[in-house]
Amino acid sequence: MSADRDHTACAQYIRDFFAGEGIDATVSTAPPIVATPYTEPGMRCPHGTTFWFEPTSEQIAQWAKDGVR
């Protein structure tokens, strides 16, 4: 598989992006089983795989503790 078709690093790239924004996120190729207020439509990477991402429950709890809206 050529490097331009290899998307094995895409999920980590998305996690790292959110981490850079101070957000602990879960990233999956499966849609969430339970929709939350944070659920967004999946995003397709340039390689054609759809990823769903949401803040972890620990992140949501921290935001609640900090009063973040």
pLDDT digits (tens, 9 = 90+) for 4-55: 566 778 999 999 999 999 999 999 999 999 998 999 999 999 888 999 999 9
Residue pair 52/31 in contact (Cβ under 8 Å)? The answer is yes
Q: How many CA atoms lie within 13 A of 57 on its CB side?
A: 3
pLDDT digits (tens, 9 = 90+) for 41-66: 999 998 889 999 999 999 999 999 99
Sign of the C-alpha dihedral computed for residues 19, 23, 28 and 29 taken in this order: negative
